[in-house]
Structure 1
Amino acid sequence: MLALAASLLLAGPSHAQEAERAALYGDENIAVALFAEGKPKAGGERMLALRFTPKSEEWHGYWSNPGDAGQGMRLELSLPEGWEMGAPLYPVPQQLTISGLMNHIYEGQYAVLVPIRVPAGADVPRTPPITGRVEYLACTDQICVPQDAVLTARAGGDFARWRAEVAPLLDAQASFAITGQTLRVAIPLPASVALAVPHVFIANERLVDYAKPQTFRRRGDMLVAEIALDDRRQGDGGAVSGILAFGDGAGVRFMAVPGAVPTGGELIAGPAAMAVPPLWTLVLGALLGGLLLNIMPCVFPILSLKALSLARAGESEARARAEGLAYTAGVVLACLALGGVMLALRAAGEQVGWAFQLQEPGVVVALLVLAAAITANFAGLFELPSVSVSMGGERSGAFATGLLAAFVATPCTGPFMAAALGAALLLPTVQALLLFALLGLGLALPFLLLGFVPPLRRMLPKPGPWMERFRRIMAIPMGLTALALLWLTVQLGGRPFGLVALLLVAGVLLALLVVGRLQRKGKLAWPAFGLVAAPFFAFALIALPNLYDGGGSKDSESIHAPQAFSRESLAEARGSGKPVFVWFTADWCVTCKVNESVAIERESVREAFEAAGVVTMVGDWTVRDEAITAFLTEQGAAGVPLYLWYAPGAATPEQLPQVLTPDLLVAQASGNPPPAASAAGSD
């Protein structure tokens, strides 16, 4: 098939000879006839109709925008002077997908109406019959044949039925907006209108990706359609028009202008709606996912905080229960807050995902300062008199520990958790927040059980002098956490940015050293902290924004020499006919880095990939990237890691497990993946 642009030429008397020239191809496969409705009236409108009749059911014609392949109708009419032809009016088209290409077609007999405006002073009785010429394409699933015919309008035809089949124009204005790689169209449509299988046929050529699945949400009497843009589009134009098909042959035409498009709403159709599992499975997944976070590598930095609290939990039953509840409240509240902010940002049109907080340099600097302060507290440099994250034993300390634990522990997604978080981006707000709360409950569950189950607490060591030594030992992993955050700060903002952050940390530690000395002398200490630390904070507030360089692009140090992810590069790689392995990672995701170290960056894997001709590609999500966020959302993932395997010729990728092994990747390359790989990857 030829991907030709559909066009419409308005013809006047000067085109009469051209319009009446003999047909070149004929209309053997899809016959066409021109009908005129009634007698023309001066100053009125006369309706013409082109009726297309395939010779058998295997042949089909095309809408004005044929889609990825095909050709729209080209019509020339010989009209009296002053008479004008309007835009053709089409029935609701159908979708036909062949080899990944979507066409907008008509099967069976169909009619295209053509309105003709008659001028007020027209000499109607002397008007000759309307003639013309039409060119179009007739296709089956295997071949396409050009068709044309010389036309002469004749009376008759079933105009009542043909008018009913044409998609009517909405009398309300639609609006559209472009967010990232997505066209969002708000179409005014009463909530009472049933939508069996909705689909939007966009009339603007090469604006959207016709074959990509579309997503639909309702907000009252407004329907919002989200459609992937065509990577090859050459401008978005000033207006978007098309037909909204309801799914049963009915539909409406709309005209959309740039404007506000509501966010959120009830998900009613699209791949995401079909992919959302039952709520009870998501609830269980969120709870188990949070529970498993306690043993995931990305949670290790805050285990020292929990260890000290767990050791103290055996001192008294009332105290253990109070701390268990306080810690749980802190964890659940932090998860709710993070989830709520993420949903709010997405509703406002921002492309953010889970762990968005660690993509913000300011947040990472704040965490760096906090980790350094906790390290100093563990090392005995100073004491927090009331809110202690280590030894104070107050409920406020357990609550603060819970807040910090969830804030630092949740960036990575583990087994069971991925599906729940991906679904949370699609569910109504209340259900989504429920999943975030259950994620927090799962993370806090071990400590909560220790607080309420005495036999578990009796398994812990008795409190004693060893706890002070243990606290000082725990300063080591906390200090390593601070170093990791310093490294991440450099990755996010560049070396000068990281140097200023390090200077800020030095100032805070100096201030805390002064506080500790005053505390040991029994003097008022905390005002001194403000006096010493204030100049460092002031300098950082001025210098950090000016030194931030956006993280810049980083050269991959992978032994696979992967390409940087982009939709264009991915499409080109898939078109090569070779297997494609894409992994999405971030410098702050410990699970990602562990997988890369133990599985991806292995010589055995590199050799297997080279032997199979695997194309490798990496998406670095360390710094916020709207294109990557949108792609993750399309895959039903709210965060990283995400591992995708594209087999040659496969329409959709296979999601690999979030915990990789070298053997699994070698097996994928050899074409013998383990049976459990696909199932694990869907968690």
Structure 2
Amino acid sequence: MLRFVLLIIAVVGLSGLPASAQLPTGPAGGPQRVAAALVAEGPVAPAESVALALDFRPEKGWHGYWTNPGDAGLGMTLDWDLPDGWTVSDPRYPVPDTLLISGLMNHVYEDPYGVLFAITAPSDAEPGTMVPIAVEANWLACSDRLCVPERARLSATVRVARASAEATARFDRWRQALPAPLDRPARFEEQAGSIRVSIPLPNGVALTEPHLFVEQKGVVDAAAPQRVLRQDGAVVFELQRPSGAQPLPSRFDAVLRLDEAGNGLAFTTEPGSVAPGGTPLDGAAGGLALPWLLLSALLGGVLLNVLPCVFPILSLKALALLRHGANEATARREGLAYTAGTTLAALGLGGLLLALRAGGEQVGWAFQLQEPVVIVLLALLAMAITANLVGLYQFAIPGFGARGSKAGETRGAFATGLLASFVATPCTGPFMAAALGAALLLPVTQALALFAALGIGLGLPFLLLGFVRPLRRALPKPGAWMERFRRWMALPMGLTALALAWLAWRMGGWTLLLGTSVFAAVILALLVRAGMRQQSGRPAVAAILAAMFVGVGAMLVTPHLVGEASAERDGVLPTQPFSAEALAQARAAGRPVFVWMTADWCVTCKVNEATAIETESVKQAFETADVVVLRGDWTRRDPAITRYLTERGSAGVPLYVWYEPGKPAENLPQLLSSDTLIHRAAR
């Protein structure tokens, strides 16, 4: 009761404050209990935006409030004073904490926090001018015994410049405290006196202190206990409705707190069917999830070494140590440099993936292979490496060639690791799916740790070779066989080049294939000329540089060569194109559904299709069971497929999902067998 009285006093006092106040004030004109300041991240270019922040600093024992303060408290109100043409966005709050006092739930901040905005300059803003920005802010500061209305006229100056400011450390900390946007909505279903909210979340994402904050007041009883259940690919909250509540809105916004560190997800909920049941979540059960995910990423990286485009690189790098009689120090140094290269490349690709997704792009793992220019570049690179392996010319392919100084050897090993990591990303293999799927929703630091583990796993075989002497001794002694082995390694690399040329045809039609072939022929001719000059003892640098310039020209011309993609493939298994509507219709008809997500650049996908999916025995079993097959082609970027992959906890392909009528979806193994599919159809 005391809390309600204090709240009424606070509201009345807040409404009676004079609008002309210019300075921050607390109780009776004293100091603020939650001090505030308005700060800008830096200058802003015309027609662009820059970040603003309200920097709040509560005194010890006091707290401020989230946009929905909960059962008590008061949200912040703002009245902006902006120059003509300038606009400011809605506020973005960090993930709040819960504070239960006398049975009332409060959504609060007890530590310093920042509320972020984006202010946009008009296109006619004059560079060099200093623009004053001001806001009349009203907020409530509370302790466990007292609430005080506070207000201030806060101001800042923004400079107009020709280029916007770069991110600063302080604003980066505030951004990291914001809930990450979930790229698809959750579903809610009303029941007697409660609602069930289903949030798409991969099983590998740990939930150590989950709590659902609903932004709109009156939707749920904030103080009532929240029941949390795990389902396949989702987490379900059962929330109590307040007594005498108004009808539910058509949609509402919410924030899911994941853990005690304040990491969270922001999303919109829409009406829909929520599957019954689920496994009640033990608050401590998710604590070991990250270590297991890191182990999965590490093992997945190790298995990437068997890909036909990576194995020759790893093998020849290992034989280079034998050929040059590497001592213990050299072997360790090169092992560390190679692994640093694979790790840095994986971190770079992973960081770019997270940045693109944060910017609203629907992308997944191996997103770069969905771009024709990358495919053409890789095809030309594979062709050049093949020509080198068969002896048409000599070139210091990083780590394979000229050895001399320690620094040169280390740089060569590092560059080889970068190359191996870049060409090893066509698929998510065994162990990788859960780890990379979770990385799309985990906090940035944890997600980058998973990508780093993947890179370390890719470099681990060579790292062990460098540090474990018995492994090096187990390799055959140097001899003439090494040159024959080197030429044999041209076979998988040459097949990789042909596969990439085929992929160029699949992605861009005959025009792109013809263009790729012409560029490859010119580069090959230049490399052969370089080899002839090398055999006669003359310099070949000019010919090799010319080949590189042709490769750069190919990258610039490729976007203009992309034509109509090749016709859809004719397979053994009758399929329909994947769409959410087709999936819903098939399930509504009560038929089994097999969802098959693939891409032409995915090696694992093609192996599964040839050995397990596109077989007569599977076709007959599916026809008997009346199975609907929905095939999603992710060769080129497709936002609908990306959303579905993320919803099923996968960052890439292959992905196979089985829907039994009336039962939850089941993710099938990434390495399929015909027996697996026939067994599902016969159930």
**TM-score normalized by the length of structure 2:** 0.61
Task: Tell me the residue number matched to 1:470.
Answer: 485
Q: Is 2:673 the counterpart of 1:661?
A: yes
Task: Tell me the residue number matched to 2:494.
Answer: 479
Superposed CA offset, 1:615-669 (max 9, x none):
111000011111111111111100011000011122x310011111111111100
| SS state at 2:426 partner | coil
Task: Tell me the residue number matched to 2:264.
Answer: 267
Contact residue 183 and residue 643 of structure 2 kept, 8 A:
no
Contact residue 181 and residue 265 of structure 2 kept, 8 A:
no
Task: Tell me the residue number matched to 1:47.
Answer: none
Compared CA separation, residues 642 and 391, structure 1 to 2 (3 A) = farther
Q: Distance in 2 between matches of 1:280 and 1:320?
A: 30
1:543 Cα deviation after fit: 4.2
Compared CA separation, residues 458 and 354, structure 1 to 2 (3 A) = same
Q: Is 2:605 the counterpart of 1:592?
A: yes
Contact residue 188 and residue 223 of structure 1 kept, 8 A:
no
Q: Is 2:482 the counterpart of 1:578?
A: no
Instruction: Specify every segment of 5 or more residues in structure 2 that has no aligned partner in the other structure, as ranges.
Output: 1-69, 80-88, 107-173, 188-214, 223-240, 253-261, 268-277
Counterpart mapping for 1:537-548 below 5 A: 538=553, 540=554, 543-548=557-562
Task: Tell me the residue number matched to 2:526.
Answer: 511
Compared CA separation, residues 222 and 323, structure 1 to 2 (3 A) = closer
Superposed CA offset, 1:527-546 (max 9, x none):
233446646754x4564222
Superposed CA offset, 1:36-77 (max 9, x none):
xxxxxxxxxxxxxxxxxxxxxxxxxxxxxxxxxxxxxxxxxx
1:318 Cα deviation after fit: 2.4
Q: 2:390 aligns with which of 379, 394, 403?
A: 379
Q: Is 2:427 the counterpart of 1:415?
A: no
1:415 Cα deviation after fit: 2.1
Task: Tell me the residue number matched to 1:340.
Answer: 351
Q: Distance in 2 between matches of 1:570 and 1:459?
A: 53
| SS state at 1:300 partner | coil
1:475 Cα deviation after fit: 1.4
Contact residue 331 and residue 467 of structure 2 kept, 8 A:
yes
Compared CA separation, residues 389 and 356, structure 1 to 2 (3 A) = farther
Counterpart mapping for 1:543-582 below 5 A: 543-549=557-563, 551=565, 554-582=567-595
| SS state at 1:463 partner | coil
Q: Is 2:657 the counterpart of 1:644?
A: yes
Task: Tell me the residue number matched to 1:632.
Answer: 645
Compared CA separation, residues 193 and 492, structure 1 to 2 (3 A) = same
Q: Percent identity?
A: 50
Contact residue 412 and residue 639 of structure 1 kept, 8 A:
yes
Q: 1:194 aligns with which of 80, 98, 101?
A: 98
Q: Distance in 2 between matches of 1:495 and 1:387?
A: 33
Look up the equivalent residue of 2:470 and give its one-letter code: P
Task: Tell me the residue number matched to 1:361.
Answer: 372
1:275 Cα deviation after fit: 8.5
1:191 Cα deviation after fit: 4.5
Q: Is 2:450 the counterpart of 1:435?
A: yes
Task: Tell me the residue number matched to 2:9.
Answer: none
Compared CA separation, residues 171 and 291, structure 1 to 2 (3 A) = same
Compared CA separation, residues 485 and 275, structure 1 to 2 (3 A) = farther
Q: Distance in 2 between matches of 1:195 and 1:667?
A: 52
1:292 Cα deviation after fit: 2.5
Compared CA separation, residues 619 and 396, structure 1 to 2 (3 A) = same
Superposed CA offset, 1:311-340 (max 9, x none):
233423222222211211111111111111
- Who wins on radius of gyration, i.e. which is larger? 1
Q: Is 2:276 the counterpart of 1:300?
A: no
Instruction: Specify every segment of 5 or more residues in structure 1 that has no aligned partner in the other structure, as ranges.
Output: 1-163, 174-184, 199-216, 231-240, 258-264, 672-683
Q: Distance in 2 between matches of 1:386 and 1:646?
A: 48
Q: Distance in 1 between matches of 2:288 and 2:563?
A: 41
Task: Tell me the residue number matched to 2:537.
Answer: 522
Compared CA separation, residues 423 and 276, structure 1 to 2 (3 A) = farther
Superposed CA offset, 1:138-197 (max 9, x none):
xxxxxxxxxxxxxxxxxxxxxxxxxx9999998469xxxxxxxxxxx9775575453999
| SS state at 1:584 partner | strand
Superposed CA offset, 1:288-319 (max 9, x none):
22123234xxx122211211222233423222
Counterpart mapping for 1:384-395 below 5 A: 384-385=395-396, 387-389=398-400, 394-395=409-410
Task: Tell me the residue number matched to 2:504.
Answer: 489
Contact residue 291 and residue 445 of structure 1 kept, 8 A:
yes
Look up the equivalent residue of 1:468 and give its one-letter code: E
Q: Distance in 2 between matches of 1:614 and 1:195?
A: 51
Superposed CA offset, 1:203-249 (max 9, x none):
xxxxxxxxxxxxxx99647785765399xxxxxxxxxx966846525
Contact residue 242 and residue 255 of structure 1 kept, 8 A:
no
Q: Distance in 2 between matches of 1:664 and 1:288?
A: 24
Q: Is 2:306 the counterpart of 1:311?
A: no
Compared CA separation, residues 243 and 577, structure 1 to 2 (3 A) = farther
Compared CA separation, residues 168 and 283, structure 1 to 2 (3 A) = same
Task: Tell me the residue number matched to 1:228.
Answer: 185
Q: Distance in 1 between matches of 2:674 and 2:519?
A: 41
| SS state at 1:194 partner | strand
Superposed CA offset, 1:235-282 (max 9, x none):
xxxxxx96684652579999999xxxxxxx932588999989621111
Look up the equivalent residue of 2:640 and give its one-letter code: A
Q: Distance in 1 between matches of 2:176 and 2:338?
A: 38
Task: Tell me the residue number matched to 2:419.
Answer: 404
Look up the equivalent residue of 1:604 and give its one-letter code: S
Q: Is 2:682 the counterpart of 1:670?
A: yes
Look up the equivalent residue of 1:547 and give its one-letter code: L
Compared CA separation, residues 362 and 453, structure 1 to 2 (3 A) = same
Counterpart mapping for 1:40-189 below 5 A: 171=77, 188-189=92-93
Q: How many residues align?
A: 458
Q: Distance in 2 between matches of 1:221 and 1:542?
A: 39
1:505 Cα deviation after fit: 1.0
Which deviates more, 365-374 or 248-257? 248-257
| SS state at 1:619 partner | strand
Q: Distance in 2 between matches of 1:586 and 1:460?
A: 37
Q: Distance in 2 between matches of 1:278 and 1:229?
A: 23
Look up the equivalent residue of 1:589 and give its one-letter code: C
Q: Distance in 2 between matches of 1:457 and 1:377?
A: 25
Look up the equivalent residue of 1:371 and give its one-letter code: A
Q: Distance in 2 between matches of 1:435 and 1:588?
A: 23
Which deviates more, 616-625 or 510-519? 510-519
Compared CA separation, residues 227 and 588, structure 1 to 2 (3 A) = closer
| SS state at 1:313 partner | helix
Contact residue 579 and residue 647 of structure 1 kept, 8 A:
yes
Contact residue 503 and residue 536 of structure 1 kept, 8 A:
no
Contact residue 178 and residue 264 of structure 2 kept, 8 A:
no
| SS state at 1:413 partner | coil
Q: 1:424 aligns with which of 434, 439, 444?
A: 439
Q: Distance in 1 between matches of 2:512 and 2:487?
A: 30
Compared CA separation, residues 225 and 542, structure 1 to 2 (3 A) = closer
Compared CA separation, residues 246 and 376, structure 1 to 2 (3 A) = farther
| SS state at 1:444 partner | helix
| SS state at 1:617 partner | strand
| SS state at 2:309 partner | helix
Which deviates more, 406-415 or 639-648? 406-415
Q: 1:621 aligns with which of 626, 634, 645?
A: 634
